[in-house]
Amino acid sequence: MHHLVLQVAAPNTLNADLVAHIAEFTQPSGLEKLPNLQSDWGAQAMRLRNIGVDPQVARSDLPAIAREHGLDWAVVPAGLRLADFKLLVLDMDSTLVAMETIDELGAASGKKAQIAAITEAAMRGEIADYAESLRRRLALLAGTPESVLEEVYARLHLNPGAEALIAAAKAAGLKVLLATGGFTWFTERLQQRLSLDFVAANTLEWRESKLTGHALGPIVDAQGKRQALLDTCSRIGCTPQQAIAIGDGANDLAMMKAAGLSVAYHAKPTVQDAASTALNVCGLDAVRCLFEA
């Protein structure tokens, strides 16, 4: 059996007529209003229990309705619990944090347009080799002083619901891995700030407190993120099926495919198509509503 979870972010509300319409064609055995999430974005959520149609039928009919009404939805197995999982894996840029840090470094260095263009092409999957795209962007940052990174970090904000999701995961016994093609300069600060258990990221090379335009060691690309997930699962003694992976770009697809549950967060269409479910209007802690107590 499967449940259908519907969610909207404030100031929108779950319209009773819309829920009735969706229930008419999904034929649930009952409706369950979920408690409002205590977060900075606010939400309303409802679980349509034991839908009576094939999950693939629901998945084909719901996207158009969701786009029209500003709705997030997910078809999930009945009885799914957060505590069934052992690892939460988060991408950093535009997933955990509300910016692309390398683009912001480019903006502060006067290279935003050139770097953002490469970032967008890479996130859409148009540049197949993420490592190459990163090297090209880093080269544009050669000579950037550390003060610029400090300025960018001062403007860095977590995406809505990030702290609530991490807290819920930890309360349920999960470890948290931040796996990113971004940089340890930022992840070390986020790890301390959020008490993250593990981090996989790229290390910047410095010379006289300025970026050289190069990274040290192997680049953490799509396969690097996947391997970080697999290695962490091995380290904590769980299977990849017990991992939840959340990301937004093409370089997250490999780790999302390896995980037992994947969530596309405000993501590119190709990522949404590949993920178990997607969030397009709600914050990160809306992931909690996919699970039963």
Could you tell me the residue ranges of all domains in the chain? 1-79, 81-101+157-293
pLDDT means per 10 residues in the chain (293 residues)? 94 88 95 72 82 93 93 96 98 97 91 87 76 90 95 96 97 98 97 98 96 95 96 98 96 97 95 96 95 88
Does domain 1-79 match CATH 3.30.70.260?
yes
CB 72 within 8 A of CB 91: no
Asked if the bond preceding 11 is cis, omega within 30° of 0, the reply is yes
Which residues are known to be catalytic?
91, 93
SS (H, E, C) 158-200: ECCCHHHHHHHHHHCCCEEEEEEEEEHHHHHHHHHHHCCCEEE
CB 198 within 8 A of CB 255: no
Residue type, 197: D
CATH number of 81-101+157-293: 3.40.50.1000
- What's this model's pTM, rounded to 2 decimal places? 0.94
CB 200 within 8 A of CB 177: yes
| Domains 1-79 and 81-101+157-293 equal at CATH topology level | no
CB 277 within 8 A of CB 260: no
Structure confidence at residue 42 (pLDDT): 53
Structure confidence at residue 37 (pLDDT): 60
| Chain centre to alpha carbon of residue 79 | 23
Structure confidence at residue 85 (pLDDT): 98
Q: List beta partners, residue 231.
A: none
Structure confidence at residue 196 (pLDDT): 98
